[in-house]
Amino acid sequence: MTLKEIKELLEAEVLTGKYDPETEIQIGCSSDLMSEVLAFGKPGSILLTSLSNIQVINTANVADIKAVCFVMGKIPDKNIINLAKKNDVVVFITQLTTFESCGRLYKNGLNSCGYFNLDK
């Protein structure tokens, strides 16, 4: 699924980042716990979260997550945007709830990370 399709499905706004609408995203994940994202997030995925602080971008950066969508109309502050710009993380915001956002993407064919497994 391309970033453009994701943007349309989530009725989202692009806030920053090297936004190439044709960038392919294979996998989606969603959590407000960044440790969970680090544990099960996959490289090249999109993260949907209602948590809005600088650690979301740091998490995306270290885990090679390409794009972050802040759901439920959470507007990230300047520091978050600046850090995302610096690290080429694409940032979306949407007014939709977490469930609605995930549901729309999943229904339209975006894969999930599958089962959570703490083993190697």
Partner 1 sequence: MDNKRTTTKIQELTYELKIKDVMTKNIETVGSKIPVSHLRDILYNKRISGVPIVNDNKLVGLISIEDFIKCLEQGEMDDLIEDKMTKNIKTLYADEPLVHAVMKFEKYGFGRFPVISRKDKKLIGIITKSDIIKGVLKKLETAYHDEEERRYRASHIFNDVMADEIFFKFQYYVEGKNFDRAGEAATGLKKTLYRLGLSPEIVRRAAISTYEAEINIVAFTKGGKIIAYLEPHQIRIVITDKGPGIPDVEKALQPGFSTAPGWVRELGFGAGMGLPNIKKFADKMTLRSTVEKGTRLVIIIKLSDYRNED
Tell which one of 51, 72, 81, 113 touches partner 1 (CB under 8 A): 51
Closer residue to partner 1 (CB): 14 or 54: 54
**Nearest-5° Cα angle at 116, 112 to 120:** 120
Query: Which tokens in the block code for residue 64?
Result: 């090679």
Closer residue to partner 1 (CB): 11 or 114: 114
Q: Tell the smallest beta-carbon distance from residue 93 to partner 1 (Å).
A: 17
Cβ contacts of residue 93 below 8 Å, gap of 6+? Answer: 12, 13, 15, 69, 70, 71, 73, 74, 75, 76
Tell which one of 4, 13, 39, 113 touches partner 1 (CB under 8 A): 39
Quick note: the x/- pattern for partner 1 over 53-92, rule CB under 8 A, is xxxx-xx-xxxx--------------x-------x-----
Query: CA torsion 6→12→18→23, rounded to 10°?
Result: 10
Quick note: the x/- pattern for partner 1 over 6-35, rule CB under 8 A, is ----------------x-x-------xxxx
Residue 119 interacts with partner 1 (CB under 8 A): yes or no: yes
